[in-house]
Amino acid sequence: MPIVPPPTPAPSPPPGQPSFHSFDPTVVAHSSAFATLSPAARRQHLHALIQVCTPSELLFLSTTIAPLLKRDFLRALPPEVSLHILSFIDDPRTLARAARVSRYWNELIQDDCLWKAMCVRHGFSRDADAVESYRREQGLDGRRRSSLAWSGTPQPDADRDQPARAEIDGFPYRKFFIHEHLRTSNWLQRGRLLRIHRAPLHPPVTQDPNAPNGAQGPVANPAIPTSIAIDSSWVVVGLANSRIHIFSAKTGVLSRTLVGHESGVWAVSLVTEGGRPAPPGVPLSDNTGDPLVATAPQDAMLPPILRYALGLEPPARTNDLATDPFADGKAAEPPPFGKPSYPGGASDGWGQPNALIVSGGCDKELRVWDVRSGYCIYVLRGHTSTIRCLKVLHGRPVAISGSRDRSLRVWDIQRGRLLRVLEGHTQSVRCLDACGNRVVSGSYDCTCRVWDVDTGACLHVLRGHFHQIYTVAFDGVRIASGGLDTTVRVWDASTGACLALLQGHTALVCQLQLTPTMLATGGSDGRVITFSLKDSTFSVVQRLAAHDSSVSGLQLDDRFLVTSGNDGRVRLYEFELAMAPSAFEPQCRYVRDMCEPSESVWKVAYTRETCAILSKKAGKMVVEILSFKPDWE
């Protein structure tokens, strides 16, 4: 008799999927009929069904449907497409909030290509000095890092993946953006006051024991700041009482006071430690000089510690900083004669391990100091009157000084010798600026002169002002000059031709600064005027009634404008961020006063993370050092 096998049981339903056998047969029949309907009829059927549902049943539908609709669309797409979608986000806060959605999104948003675009969009890539400064502070060596590992996603081929990844140059764009964003926020808000230094403006009068009864000793000069230089490590202040104060730019502490000048210091220049030497083909220093005036070097008698400070022993080392990662292979066009000088009064070193200070003043001497030890390395003599202005070339131990004796002198500050004398002015040399191996000097004889430092030749004599010249600016392409005739003239550095006569001030023009696209001027009338240099239009961008009296300080970069005045105020302006190329430069808006009002402000200078303000308060000389460095570092 045949045996009938038992029926094979049906497979169990997968987890989360109910079995139709648990439903009422009417429900099963209704579901089968619903499956046979057309899409339009299905939607009509669902709409009619929802209309008759109670609120509790609608809540049940909502909680049941919501999980079924959740889907990580970025995980479902290739990484390249996901990054492209995220690149449309403009607000960094939105991008940061998106990183908190899931672990995969967080890893995706860590990719630096997004943050590189964000840096460009917010204007954090226009100045390569910021990138180099960040590399120096973070100790980055430019080595390539591994790309982001996409968890849960198959890795595409290397050739297809290479263009989409951002870490191909090893630069941390995300950390750089956070650093720059926080630093900019600190500028706009208040920053952090590192230190306030107060010193008597007029020292007490001393009694001379050898003098008759009641006679007083010689009265010292007041401690009025006459000059300032600043970089990322130091703030150097020259005083009319013959002293030089050195403050730490990182802590605000008064590190040391240099004593050696016999009378007031009128010019200081700070040479940053390390740096890049002059490019190939440009001598580090002039080995010949003018045989009629060149003096013998003094370095043979220096102790080893000072030879080391100058980079003579052991051989000079270089701080090999990587190129600008935002360039994308398109290097910026350098000025025809080299790198312009910094508005803060500092210059790049030639690879020497210590920072140096060069100073000059009423005692007619040029002195070279080692910042770390405070020793005076050289005393260079030759001028016959007060040294009024001073510059040190980038990457070369060459200093140029201008004096009331109507001459300029070129010095080798590494070996301590005079190289040549530049003569031609008929009155006092009041100001000078340098770019590469070219120097522009302004004089009370109403002329400017363009000099070749390496040969001593006077290339151009710029005539046009009819009164004394007080300030010049030179960026390698254009020269700007201003003076007592209340006008500003712009010259072509190559030909010496006058390109424009700019008017607008009603008193002495005492402050100038050139950028690649803008010229800013400050006058004794309290006005600050910005002119556009795009397309050689020289049109007025903005006129600011910045101060109630003379403008004593002016400095700007691609984002901020800082001005100080004899009215005792220091004001901060922010330039509007131009998202797209424009025919005109963006205007600036007033942000805030950077310090409490004082009796007068003598000087102001800043770097990206430090600002030094020299003012007079309650009869004292006051030095305020502000830091804008992000607190998270």
In a domain, 600, yes or no: no
| Residue linked to tokens 């990662």 | 325
Residues 162 and 261 both lie in one domain: no
Give the strand pairing for 254-259 and 346-347.
Answer: unpaired
Does residue 539 contact residue 584 with C-beta atoms inside 8 Å? yes
Q: What CATH number should be reported for the domain holding residue 96? A: 1.20.1280
CA 184 to each of CA 197, 520, 611: distance values in angstroms, whole numbers, following the listed order:
26, 21, 13
Question: Residue range 51-72: average pLDDT?
Answer: 85
Residues 463 and 587 both lie in one domain: yes
Does residue 397 contact residue 412 with C-beta atoms inside 8 Å? yes
Residues 79 and 172 both lie in one domain: yes
Residues 462 and 518 both lie in one domain: yes
Question: How many other CB atoms are there within 10 angstroms of residue 271's CB atom?
Answer: 28
Does residue 256 contact residue 246 with C-beta atoms inside 8 Å? yes
In a domain, 612, yes or no: no
Domain count for the chain: 2
What is the average pLDDT value for the chain, to the nearest integer? 84
Residues 524 and 446 both lie in one domain: yes
Residues 172 and 273 both lie in one domain: no
Q: Which of 147, 150, 152 is nearest to 162 (CA)?
A: 147
In a domain, 57, yes or no: no
Tell me which residue range forms the domain holding 172. 74-143+155-182
Does residue 58 contact residue 51 with C-beta atoms inside 8 Å? no
Residues 175 and 224 both lie in one domain: no
Enumerate residues 6+ apart whose C-beta is below 8 A from 268. Answer: 227, 228, 229, 236, 237, 238, 244, 345, 357, 358, 359, 390
Residues 410 and 488 both lie in one domain: yes
CA 463 to each of CA 447, 449, 460, 467, 496: distance values in angstroms, whole numbers, following the listed order:
5, 9, 9, 11, 9
Query: Is pLDDT of 598 > 60?
Result: yes
| Residue linked to tokens 């180099």 | 132
Residues 509 and 565 both lie in one domain: yes
In a domain, 48, yes or no: no
Residues 441 and 582 both lie in one domain: yes
In a domain, 373, yes or no: yes
Does residue 537 contact residue 555 with C-beta atoms inside 8 Å? no
Residues 108 and 253 both lie in one domain: no
Residues 483 and 542 both lie in one domain: yes
The pLDDT value given to residue 242? 94
Q: Which of 630, 632, 614, 610 is nearest to 249 (CA)?
A: 610
Encode 178-189: b = buried (16+ Cβ within 10 Å), e = exposed.
bbbbbbbebbee
pTM over 0.95: no
Does residue 533 contact residue 479 with C-beta atoms inside 8 Å? no
Question: Residue range 140-146: average pLDDT?
Answer: 42
Which is more confidently placed, 398 or 1? 398
Final residue before a domain boundary, out of 163, 182, 201: 182
In a domain, 47, yes or no: no
Percent of the chain past pLDDT 90, that is, above it, reads: 52
Question: Residue range 453-467: average pLDDT?
Answer: 95
